Structure 1
Amino acid sequence: MSIRILLVEDDEHIAGTVKAFLNEAGYKVDVCFDGDEAHSRFFGDSYHLVIFDVLLPGMNGHELLREYRKISNAPVLMMTALSDDESQIKAFDGQADDYVTKPFKIQLLLKRVEALLRRSNALTKEVRFGKLTLLPEDFKAFYESDELLLTLKEFEILMLLVQNKGRTLPHEVIVSRVWGYDSDGDSGTVHTHIKNLRAKLPENIIKTVRGVGYRLEEESS
């Protein structure tokens, strides 16, 4: 499974250097040079980790962090020249996972990225939620020891929900992440796939948030 990272940095030299080192480490990196472009990427692509500068044209890093946390639990690393305590506290209050100040050693940045990915289970070969086990590389899902016969879209929806467990994902976010930003999918398409997915799951763990979307919750024993 290819690990995807979104890097938002308006300094082209820094962006190019960081991207080159992350690529060499085996990660696939998309780069945005302003906050507005990055915001549009949230709904078109799914990332295992994002790196935000704070001082950006358009939406700044703190605004991006606030918007990103509405749709994803993926790790966020703030990478900025602002080293004051107030900026760091604001980032962590906004649910950033780490904060690195410029200038920095690229090897240290790589280690921070690796640590965040490891803690979020992005580097593991399998993802677990309750009695569910998902194998992203093989697009297979198991409930206890029994394989669930899911279609590709059903697997992708389930994987997306597991990655964001406890968070309500709006219909439009599921459509953009599973079918693509420019797809013709709609809430009806999502509802049909959720209905089929529920029929294949031994327990009711997909909850409907009326008028908004869906959330994954473990059944209480």
Structure 2
Amino acid sequence: MNQVLLIDDDAELVGMFTEYLEQEGFRVGCAYDGETGAREATSGRYAIVVLDVMMPRLNGIETLRRIRACSHVPVLMLTGRGDDADRILGLELGADDYVTKPCTPRELTARVRAILRRTNAPRDEGGAITLAVGKLTMLPEQRRATWDGKLLELTSTEFNLLEILARNAGRTVSKNELSEQGLGRPLARFDRNIDVHLSSLRHKLGTLSDGRSCLQTVYRQGYQLIRE
């Protein structure tokens, strides 16, 4: 499934991105306002959504809220340079990653590929693998995770990051490792993407028997999923 939905009120920009994505083998759908975009994004026809933050009437943040209310489709946000507040809010609401405008079609396409590569990564052929760490159970082939038997509602990127931590349970994983393996790109300077995703994960995961979060920050080193 390689269909991309572009949601942006800038018709010229959408046209340029569409042309490049199609040359790279993607099928592209377009929406020029948030309401239409939210309906299309939750239709089940798209592998990924590229969503602009700055749109009239229903902006990108509110559009993302509507999408996340009923869909876990990967969402790549387009944000203005310096829009840190919108960028962080978008990540907190469940965006998978962001690209800062202006950006080139090549950069956008590379970021789309990186997200889809992790989301659709081929699994081992030796049968279904189950990752179990304490009360956490993950089924990577099914993209499914539970805590104490209850299903966790995770975005694509949250699942990727949690899987990396589960495979390295008990060991500190650096933010750069998490970015490269979970997002498909090196960690940029001052990039808070990983921190925001891990904060969201911490709220979704349960606690250990002593009340601590099972997901711990290791100062200046990274994050660790604790075995219990």
Aligned AA (2:12): H
Aligned residue number for residue 80 of structure 1: 79
1:31-70 mapped onto 2 (5 Å cutoff): 31-70=30-69
- TM-score w.r.t. the length of structure 2 is 0.53
Q: Structure 2: how far apart are the matches of 1:127 and 1:167?
A: 25
Give structure 1 regions of 4+ aligned residues with deviation exceeding 3 angstroms.
Answer: 42-45, 123-132, 162-168
Q: Is the contact made by 1:78 and 1:100 (CA closer than 8 Å) also made in structure 2?
A: yes
Aligned AA (1:89): I
Aligned-residue RMSD, C-alpha = 2.9
Q: Deviations over 1:176-216 (max 9, x none)?
A: xxxxxxxxxxxxxxxxxxxxxxxxxxxxxxxxxxxxxxxxx
Q: Is the contact made by 1:32 and 1:38 (CA closer than 8 Å) also made in structure 2?
A: yes
Query: Gaps spanning 5+ residues in structure 2: where?
Result: 131-141, 146-150, 154-228
Change (3 A) 1:89 1:23: same
Change (3 A) 1:58 1:117: same
Give how far 1:44 is off: 3.3
Aligned AA (2:90): A
1:74 is paired with a residue of what secondary structure? coil
1:73 is paired with a residue of what secondary structure? coil
Aligned residue number for residue 70 of structure 2: 71
Residue 24, structure 1, aligned to residue 15, structure 2:
no
Q: Structure 1: how far apart are the matches of 2:63 and 2:126?
A: 29
Q: Structure 2: how far apart are the matches of 1:129 and 1:96?
A: 31
Query: Gaps spanning 5+ residues in structure 1: where?
Result: 133-161, 169-221
Q: Structure 1: how far apart are the matches of 2:30 and 2:127?
A: 31
Aligned residue number for residue 114 of structure 2: 115
- TM-score w.r.t. the length of structure 1 is 0.54
Q: Is the contact made by 2:21 and 2:109 (CA closer than 8 Å) also made in structure 1?
A: yes
